[in-house]
Structure 1
Amino acid sequence: MLWYIRTTATKPTGETPFFLFYGAKAVLPFKIKHGSPRVLAFDEARQDAALGTDLVLGKEARRQASHRAARYQQALRRYHSRNICSWSLEVGDLILRWVLSREGLHKLSPMWEGPFRVARVSRPGAARLETEDGVPMPNAWNIQHLCMFYP
């Protein structure tokens, strides 16, 4: 499994972890055993002469992989930012709470319960709730598990 992970190109860098670490493509064990063209064409003397060139090319390949990874991360960040809608809660807002535990419920049971009133916003993205009667709920709730209730 580790061999597979180390010899498979990753999407962010476009290179294999083996290549980025050693500066050369990996020769798989079955290719050595069965004599692939790459193994048969290997010449020790020519390899020693090309070692300096390989070091320079390896550094350049690592630099390019680093740039590709940075571009990939920027694209992910843009995609994430575009699809996230930020909203905040105010004290007194009516909201519905996502039913986290589906135990004892069937597939047609409602996915949301409530409405509840926001008693206090403890930090951005979290709120303490209370029932409409004023009974406080025991824990703070993440804003991802809440949605606005419009009567």
Structure 2
Amino acid sequence: MRTHTRETPFKLAYRSEAFILVEVYIANHRVMKYQDKENEEQLHLNLDLIVEVRMDAEYKTTRYFNIGDLVLKRFSWATRNSAHGKLGPNWERPYRVINCKRQRSYYLEALDGWKLEHP
């Protein structure tokens, strides 16, 4: 499950939850309570609601950060101090989101007011 959409990629692509083949041979609640008619009804309901599920996931993705939120920026391999090795920090200091031009592109500024040039 993705953290920001709360949906699995399988459900967004195929309109229903994944069912592992091994689960068919294991006596669990899902297998024991299976009924063809209820399953068909649920599949039709899932097909009816998939548009809303996808729109909700898209909305959550586009507005993952809001203006004013504090975020951490990942160190790039080019700017990381090689003397620290693999035990060095992975994230830079906190930044504040100051603008959002397009989807998943945010302009940041440090807490002291210094603005990053590129989103």
Report the TM-score when normalising by structure 2.
Answer: 0.51
Larger Rg: 1
What stretches of structure 2 of length at least 5 have no aligned partner? 72-95, 98-105
Q: Does 1:54 align with 2:81?
A: no
Identity %, equivalent residues: 25
**Higher relative contact order, structure no. (Cα contacts within 8 Å, ≥ 6 residues apart):** 2
Residues 1:85 and 2:115 are matched in the alignment: yes
Give 1:52 shift. Answer: 2.8
C-alpha distance in 1 between matches for 2:4 and 2:55: 13
Structure 1 gap ranges (5+) = 1-8, 88-124, 126-151
Q: For residue 82 of structure 1, give the secondary structure of its aligned residue in structure 2.
A: strand
Q: How does the TM-score come out when normalised to structure 1?
A: 0.42
Distance in 2 (CA, whole Å) between partners of 1:21 and 1:86 is 36
Q: Compute the RMSD of aligned alpha carbons.
A: 3.0
After TM superposition, give the deviation of residue 86 of structure 1 in Å: 4.2
* Residues 86 and 63 (structure 1), Cα distance of their counterparts in 2 relative to 1, 3 Å cut: closer
Distance 1:10 1:80, change over 3 A: farther
Q: Among residues 20, 28, 32, which one is paired with 1:40 in the alignment? A: 32
Report how far residue 21 of structure 1 moved.
Answer: 1.1
Name the SS of the counterpart of 1:81 in structure 2.
strand
Q: Which residue of 2 aligns with 1:10?
A: 2
